[in-house]
Amino acid sequence: MNANVIETNGLTKGTGSQMRVNHIDLRIPEGCVYGFLGPNGAGKTTTLKLLLGLLKPTAGDVIFFGQQMTDKNRLSILRHTGSLIESPSFYGHLTGLENLQIAAKLKKAPASEIAKVLQTVRLYEQKDKKVKQYSLGMKQRLGIAMALLGNPRVLILDEPTNGLDPAGIQEIREFIKNLPVTHQMTVIVSSHLLSEIELMADMVGIINHGELIFQGTMAALEAQGDGLEDIFLKLTGGSESL
């Protein structure tokens, strides 16, 4: 198994009955697709925001690339990460290309990368169309293109297939699966759908009520004996219909 690119130790947000994330110890190996699975409201997005320093933890720490994240080194660490948390935001009156040009300047990424990321997410032919004319799937892909600027070592995607039609879901799924091979990236992808994580991930962490209740390979999860849906429902107390 590769060295861990991200670790958390006792990562916590909240107190008492307001505990949103409860002493989570993530172990995310380099070069994998790590599926972060749990029912809606389980604490997935809060955890991802804590990883990125968008929220301050109540307790615990976050380690990227062997370094504990602090206020002083957060920005230098995040230069090696890309993320798409919740719904992507764009300037609708501008084209996809113009949105990426702005993002590249903000991220101090070379302008030469823009064409590459457009081709990677299969939007090059639509780059001159105004974003307000994009479909939901195209906007998701544009958000991923923004996250890819700077050639990050780690890509964090929060529910990237939400709201997509079946063809769009399959396209995003295949794209994510290939990133560790084509771009040598570690990908963390959250979802409330076991079927999505099952088809994308090498490693899986299951969170429920803010607690990490399983972490390991997909093979280890399957080896528990029941079908994956039965295992997931048992672990989460049947709180999510699949």
Q: What is the pLDDT of residues 137-185, one digit of tens each?
A: 888 889 989 999 988 999 999 998 877 788 878 888 888 998 999 888 9
CA distance linking residue 87 with residue 142, whole number of Å: 11
Which residue spans of the chain are classified as CATH 3.40.50.300? Answer: 1-80+153-242
pLDDT at 225: 65
pLDDT at 107: 87
Q: Residue type for 74, please?
A: R
Give the CA radius of gyration of the chain.
18
* Bridge pairing between strands 21-24 and 27-29: unpaired
Helix 113-120 and helix 96-107: axis angle, to 10°? 120
pLDDT at 160: 87
Q: Residue type for 140, please?
A: Q
For 1-80+153-242, CATH number? Answer: 3.40.50.300
CA distance linking residue 146 with residue 128, whole number of Å: 16
Q: What is the share, in percent, of the chain residues with pLDDT greater than 70?
A: 94
What is the pLDDT of the chain when averaged over all its residues? 89
> Which pTM does this prediction carry?
0.88
Which tens digit of pLDDT belongs to each residue from 64-76? 999 999 999 999 9
* Structural tokens at position 46: 């809060």
pLDDT band at 1 (very low <50, low <70, confident <90, very high): low
Q: What distance lies between CA 34 and its chain's CA centroid?
A: 8
pLDDT band at 224 (very low <50, low <70, confident <90, very high): confident
pLDDT at 15: 86
pLDDT score of 240 more than 70: no
Q: What is the mean pLDDT of residues 53-73?
A: 94
Residue at token pair 């994240």: 69
